[in-house]
Structure 1
Amino acid sequence: MKFTDYQYTRPNFDAYKKDFLQTLKILKEETHLEKAQGALDHLNELRGQIETAYNLALIRYSINTNDTFYEAEDAYWNEYQPHFQNLDFEFYQALLNSPLLDDLKTIYPKTLFLFAESRVKTFHPDLIPLFQKENQLNSAYSKLVASAQIPFEGEVRTLSQLTPFTQSTDAEMRKKATEQVTAFYAENEAKFDDIYHQMVQVRAQIAKKLGFSNYVAFADVLMNRWDYDRPMIETYRQEILNKIVPLTQKLYERQAKRNQLEHLSFHDLPLVYPNGNATPKGTPEELVESARKMYHELAPETGEFFDFMVENDLLDLLSKKGKQAGGYCTYIQNYASPFIFANFNGTSHDVDVLTHEAGHAFQTYESRWIKEPEIVFPNYESCEIHSMSMEFIAWPWMEQFFKEETNKYKFDHLASALQFLPYGVLVDHFQQEVYENPDWSPEERKACWRKLEKQYCPERDYTLFPALDNGIYWLRQGHIFTSPFYYIDYTLAQVCAFQFWKRFNIDADTNAWSDYLKICQVGGTKTFLEILAIARLRSPFEPGALDDTIKQVENYLDSITETELL
């Protein structure tokens, strides 16, 4: 069945609630295991129906924010999603209080119960108006970013479509494109400030009313950080600052020398090579076909998966007017279908999407056996291992995409993954400061960002871009607005993915694929550290793990000569 044939129907909340509560009563009271299990299975089925409808509306609205039908459905979900969450809240309470709890724990994945414990701490029906407001603000941010229509070089372009110009070999073109992107955020700065200020206030109220000291503590529970805590994150951030930032600065110095520049201005950072960054060779259709060939050669499982994605039109890849920014993978429960959303723009990012988001999608495809909608995906720090590792698993096939520029791509891909770590923890550090000080003014937040940015990303020279020097860069980081405290998870996963990079590409480890496949198949039924154990990976929190992993990456990058890159 093609994605266009997937049927979306707005749920009838009252009818759904009636069925849900009748079944929930059985779960609450039943003392016969078989009947309680039947009730739980039916509740999972009902909740899967809602997940399906919600995700279909989300996908179709994100593809075209000018679609009036799905704009209305987006408004519906902003209002009603908290009401459905309230029913889930009652479900989690009933599950944890079931007279057959110990028996149910022997049948269902333990993470379902861990998830339930987190959710009863982070929701209350009295707060539904606040959750509705938060949803509305998330939509307002996404719509504002999607509204960008920037006249540039004879055409009106989206922010994503400007990206290739920011990587131009012509310094003046890079500067001009960077100015245009910056100008969009500067011209809308007051709107972004207002949206975010309201978000911070709403979230602070939610946390306080639920008994948390602040939203930071709330978010760590909401994010299901079952294996680690905030002090461990703070120590990890400091490790990145002390050990990774010096390495990234060496890479930027090497880049400046390679590009014959005494100093890198901010608009020089995107251009890695003087003769241009590696770009994919071929049309979007040809790139997809190359990906299809790659996944067939990688493993039978990935070949079957990618055929399913292509044949059912489960990839929306091209950037276009009215489309939301960024990329994502989601899962449509009742159709057992992953879906990949992206904005191709002619840069290497297009290939990264076909590996990164495909890593997510492949994991969900392998986890279709899981009927509990909240644990098809694992937690964020775990699910990003699948995506970031797939980027490196795909390395042997990169010549299909980049031809003579394959070495350039691989070097930049690995180097930029290392350079990402400080930025990733910067985002987390900034959010912690903001939510520990919810009464800050927009100006105080921007001053905090710029102060931290100078510590974690000292290579950013904004002399030519005063608006950025005033601390507005973070306005473009959607996660800060719509997925608070998600971003640190990318860095934790990246450290794990580096280990798979070594096992696949340096060690030729014959067990690497089977270990990767295993963690795709367990989905969210295991915790972060359990998933690492299954994959035989070291935890980023383990003493010495960061040192050993990063040293291997550093040695590889140092071994590549400039002659090999040009």
Structure 2
Amino acid sequence: MKFTDYTYSRPNYDDIKVKMADLTEKLAVAASTEAARQIVQDITAISSAVDTQMNLWSIRHSIDMRDEFYNQETVFWNEHNPLFDELWTNYYRVIVDSPYRPDLADLLPETFFMLAENRLQTFSSDAIPLFQKENELVDQYNNLMATAQLDFRGQTYNLSQMGPFNQSIDRATRKEAAETMTSFFEKHETDFDRIYDQLVKTRHEIATTLGFKDYVEYGYKMMNRFDYNRDMVKVYREEILKHVVPAVQKLRQRQAKRIQVPDLKYYDLILEYLDGNATPKGSPEELVAQAKKMYQELSPETGQFFDFMVEHDLLDLLAKEGKDTGGYCTYIADYQSPFIFANFNGTSADIDVLTHEAGHAFQVFRSRWIPSPEVIWPTYESCEIHSMSMEFITWPWMESFFKDQVNKYKFSHLASALFFLPYGVLVDHFQHEIYEHPEMTPTERKNTWRRLSELYLPDRDDSESDFLSRGGFWFRQGHIFASPFYYIDYTLAQVCALQFWKRTQVDQDPTAWEDYLRICDLGGTKTFLQIVEAARLQSPFKEGALESTITAAMSYLDSIDDTEL
């Protein structure tokens, strides 16, 4: 079957509610392990069926946000997702106290129960109207971003399609493109401020309704951070300031010299070479064919996986009108199919997003043996190890995508990993302060971003843009609106991925691939630090781990003569 043949049918909530109530009641009084096992399997089948339909709606809605049918389905899902969550929560309440819990370990690993216990603390029927409101506000943000139409030099583009102009070797073009994008956010400043203000207040009310001090405390439970807390994250942020920010400043100085500007402005940051950044060579179809060849050569496991993705049309990669921004991977449970969504725009980011999302997809493809849908995926920071590491593991094949620009690509790719760390920590720190002070006004939020940006990104010069100088850049960071606190995860995973980079590309460690494959197979049956241990990596929280990782990356970058790029 092709993806277009996967059937979407809106679930009948009333019927499912009756079935779930009956099964949950029977589970509570089950007289044997066998009876409990059958009920758990029946509930799992219902959960997978609902999740399948939700993902089919979500994918098709994001592919074309002008499609009226899926726009109407969005209304249904915004309203009913919290109602379905209520049904699963009732099930969790029974299963965590079941006397048969130890006998169900093959169906429900320990992490399932850890997730279930967190769900019981982060969900309440009393908060359903608030969850519904949150969903509606996130959809407003997504629609605002997806329907953006930017007039640039006589043509109309969406936000994703502006990418190549931001990398132009002509400084005037870069500046004009950056100003065009910024003007969109400034024009809609009132809308973005209103949506986020309501989101912050709604989320704070969710947290207090459920008995939490603030949404930060709630967020750590919601994100299932079993191995670390906000104090550990605070220390980690300080380590980024100490070890990474100075390294990034050195790299930015090299960049300014390479592109021959006296001072880097915000519109210069994306251009890394005076003759242009590395770009992939070939049409999207040719790039997918190269990716297929690459994964067949990488290993039998990745070959089987990517063949499956191509044969079933499980990749939607081109930027086009009406399409949502960004990139993601999701999983369609009843078809056992990962799905990759991207917005190719002719820049090196096309290959980054392809290998990144393929890392996610490969992990969930390898984890299809796990019977519990809740733990096919690990927690978010673990998920990002698979994706970010895959970007580096595939380095030996980058020449097939970038030809004679491959060295430029590799230098930029590794440098961008370091550039990202302070920014990723900035996004996390910003959210901590916002949700610790939900009473902030929109102006105070922008002031907070500006203050923290000066701390983590001291090399960023927004002086030629009033809007950016006022602290408005974060409007374009969708995670801040749609996935609160999902960002430090990327940085923690990046530190792990850089270790895989060193093992595979510098040390030529023959055991690195088997370690990577092992953690893909684990899925969500282990916690973050257990997965790090299984991969034989150092924890990002371990003293010295960050310093040694950054030192290795900088040593590689320092060994390269910029004039040869």
Alignment TM-score, normalising by the size of structure 1: 0.99
Which residue of structure 2 aligns with residue 365 of structure 1?
365
Q: Amino acid of the residue matched to residue 208 of structure 2?
A: K
Distance in 1 between the 2:114 and 2:253 partners? Answer: 46
**1:342 counterpart SS class:** strand
> Which amino acid in the other structure matches residue 351 of structure 2?
V
Distance 2:28 2:414 in 1: 52
1:154 CA drift (Å): 2.7
In the alignment, is residue 298 of structure 1 matched against residue 298 of structure 2?
yes
Q: How does 1:13-24 map to 2 (within 5 A)?
A: 13-24=13-24
User: What is the 5 A alignment of 1:101-500?
Assistant: 101-105=101-105, 108-500=108-500
Shift of 1:562: 1.2
Amino acid at match of 2:433: E
Measure the CA separation in 2 of the matches of 1:463 and 1:440: 24
Deviation for aligned residue 1:101: 2.5
Alpha-carbon contact 1:64-1:324 (below 8 Å) kept = yes
My pick for the range that moved more, 506-515 or 147-156, is 147-156
CA–CA distance in structure 2, aligned partners of residues 19 and 429 of structure 1? 43
Per the TM alignment, residue 103 of structure 1 is displaced from its structure 2 partner at its CA by 2.9
Distance 1:27 1:153 in 2: 64
Structure 1 window deviating more from structure 2 (503-512 vs 23-32): it is 23-32
**SS of residue in 2 equivalent to 1:490:** helix
Within a 5 Å distance, the mapping from 1:87-106 to structure 2 comes to 87-105=87-105
In structure 2, distance between residues paired with 1:103 and 1:65:
46
Residue 93 (structure 1) shift: 0.4
Count residues in correspondence.
Answer: 565
Alpha-carbon contact 2:107-2:372 (below 8 Å) kept: no
Q: Distance in 1 between matches of 2:307 and 2:338?
A: 12
Give per-residue Cα distances to partners, 1:209-253, cap 9 Å, x unaligned. Answer: 111110000000000000111100000001101211000000000
One-letter code of the match for 1:457?
A: L
Query: What letter is aligned with 1:280?
Result: P
Give the equivalent residue in structure 1 for 2:514: 514
The offset of 1:58, in angstroms, is 0.2
Please give the alpha-carbon distance, in whole angstroms, between the structure 1 residues aligned to 2:542 and 2:481. Answer: 31
Q: Which amino acid aligns with 2:323?
A: K
SS of equivalent residue, structure 2 residue 321: coil
Q: Distance in 1 between matches of 2:194 and 2:57?
A: 26
Aligned to 2:552: 552
SS of 2:438 mapped into structure 1: coil
Instruction: Give distance in 2, aligned partners of 1:37 and 1:24.
Output: 12
**Separation of aligned partners in 1, 2:43 and 2:445:** 43
The answer (yes or no) to whether the contact 2:330–2:340 under 8 Å persists in 1 is: yes
Does the alignment pair 1:50 with 2:50? yes
Shift of the alpha carbon at 1:374? 1.7
Listed one character per residue, the Cα deviations across residues 243-297 of structure 1 (whole Å, up to 9, x for unaligned) are 1100000000000111121110111111100010000000011000000000000
Aligned partner letter, 2:422: P
Give 1:18 shift.
1.3
The alpha carbon displacement at 1:105 in A equals 4.1
**Is contact 2:446-2:472 (8 Å) kept?**
yes
8 Å CA contact retained: 1:29, 1:99 = no
**CA offsets per residue over residues 395-431 of structure 1, 9 Å max, x none?**
0000000000000000000000011000000000000
Letter in 2 for 1:96: V
Q: Distance in 1 between matches of 2:42 and 2:323?
A: 36
Return the letter of the residue paired with 1:238: E
Could you say what secondary structure the match of 1:382 adopts? helix
Tell me how far apart the structure 2 counterparts of residues 353 and 446 of structure 1 sit (CA, whole Å).
Answer: 29
Secondary structure (helix, strand or coil) at the match of 1:10 reads coil
Q: Which moved more, 1:196-205 or 1:26-35?
A: 26-35
What stretches of structure 2 of length at least 5 have no aligned partner?
none
Deviations 1:116-165 (A, max 9, x none): 01100000011100000000001000000011111113321001101100
Quote how far apart the aligned CAs of 1:107 are.
Answer: 5.2
- Find the aligned partners of 2:530 and 2:376 in 1 and give their Cα distance: 16
Shift of 1:106: 6.5
Please state whether the residue corresponding to 2:156 is helix, strand or coil: strand
| Distance in 1 separating the partners of 2:362 and 2:332 | 13
Contact 2:243 2:550 in 1 (8 A): no
Task: Give the secondary-structure state (helix, strand or coil) at the position aligned to 2:341.
Answer: strand
The letter for the 2-side match of 1:223 is M
Match of 1:503? 503
Task: Give 1:555 deviation, angstroms.
Answer: 0.5
Partner SS state of residue 330, structure 2: strand
Query: Structure 1 residue 99: deviation in Å?
Result: 2.5
Percentage of identical aligned residues: 57
Q: What is the CA-CA distance between 1:516 and the residue it aligns to?
A: 0.4
CA distance in 2, matches of 1:99, 1:323: 48
SS in 1 for 2:398: helix
Q: Could you tell me how far 1:371 is from its partner in structure 2?
A: 2.2
Deviation at 1:31, TM superposition (A): 3.1
DSSP-derived class of the 1:339 partner: strand
